[in-house]
Amino acid sequence: MRLRLANPIATAVWSTTTRRAYATSSSRVSLAYDLHEPAKPSSDAPAAIVFMHGLFGSKKNNRSISKALARDLGRPVYAVDLRNHGDSPHHHRHDYTAMADDVAGFIDEHKLHNTTLIGHSMGAKTAMTLALQSPDLIDNIVSVDNAPIDAALLSSFGKYVQGMKRIEEAGVTKQAEADAILKDYEESLPVRQFLLGNLHRPAGEKTQKFKVPLRILGAALDNLGDFPFKDPGEVRFAKPTLFVRGTQSKYIPDEALPIIGQFFPRFELADIDAGHWVTSEKPEEFRQAVVEFLKPKL
């Protein structure tokens, strides 16, 4: 892992609180979250971190790293479920502008200040979108393996939706049955386990269902590779930004660095020898990069 300024001009105990969410009357939804509080806060009112997962993920995917960051930085970490994921409400609209507005509402609802946004993949583009449209809400962001460009999603995401729909149609009662079906769509056991983490058994039912709304997310796939801002001459985020890149991933190609520098002129780049799932593949290297970026500069 190496951390560099890419554009020079430009064992403690913590507590965790879980909150479910409710739908609001507007298109904004209230987000479910886990709050990881530090045992030794960095100040009387430490600045908050909001951590956002990727597509088909949830707040529980970021539990370990959120606890570690709360411990190391002395800051509360809110790991949220983005709309249509985890325990957050479902909504027919699923795009980055809407997800960013949800997070803006979360910051306002919880009266957070000097906020850091950390987002992986879909969560990264949500963080970038909110930073560009409401820079006064945000102190800095960490974008994990995604860039502010239009880029097609991996074709595997469409296959995942097909496999998950087939699981629901089969009326499975055990995760092993679901895994046997999903093998036709994904060879990797860790990826299958990640996707099957969305399975649950609704109250009063015998079969398992997915928490995520497969129809809504399936319809959104074509647009989730896009980025809502096209012209860095019109909008930019002039505060510190860290881009964490998995060097075995395709989501932040070298060709994207100039446009990153135009949208985020104070960005730094941390390269980690990993694929797209940086936080789970190399959690220690990721923790080190984020702590180095966020720790107070002398």
Do 238 and 209 have their domain in common?
no
Strands (E), the chain: 2-5, 15-19, 33-37, 49-52, 77-80, 115-120, 138-144, 199-200, 209-210, 241-246, 267-272
One DSSP character per residue, 218-281 reads HHHHHHHT--S---TTT----S-EEEEEETT-SSS-GGGHHHHHHH-TTEEEEEES--S-HHHH
CATH of the domain at 40: 3.40.50.1820
Domain that residue 138 falls in: 2-151+226-294
Average of per-residue pLDDT values in the chain: 91
Residues 10 and 4: their CA atoms lie apart, in Å, by 13
Average pLDDT over residues 134-159: 91
Confidence of residue 11 (pLDDT cuts 50, 70, 90): very low
Q: Which amino acid is at 171?
A: G
Do 85 and 10 have their domain in common?
yes
As for how many domains the chain has, the answer is: 2
Do 132 and 271 have their domain in common?
yes
Q: Can you tell me whether residue 207 is helix, strand or coil?
A: coil
Do 204 and 284 have their domain in common?
no
Do 215 and 239 have their domain in common?
no
Do 265 and 123 have their domain in common?
yes
Identify the burial level of 75 via C-beta atoms within 10 angstroms of its C-beta, where 0-12 means exposed, 13-18 middle and 19 or more buried: buried
**pLDDT the model gives residue 12:** 39
**pLDDT the model gives residue 261:** 97
Average pLDDT over residues 180-198: 94
Which residue among 187, 206, 221 closes a domain? 221
Which residue among 204, 221, 238 closes a domain? 221
Only one residue has tokens 């097909």, namely 162
Catalytically active residues are 121, 276
Q: For the segment 41-85, what is each residue's pLDDT rounded down to a tens digit?
A: 888 778 999 999 999 999 999 999 999 999 999 999 999 999 999
Do 163 and 261 have their domain in common?
no
Res 244 pLDDT > 60: yes
Do 141 and 252 have their domain in common?
yes
Write down the pTM of the prediction. 0.89
**pLDDT the model gives residue 44:** 78
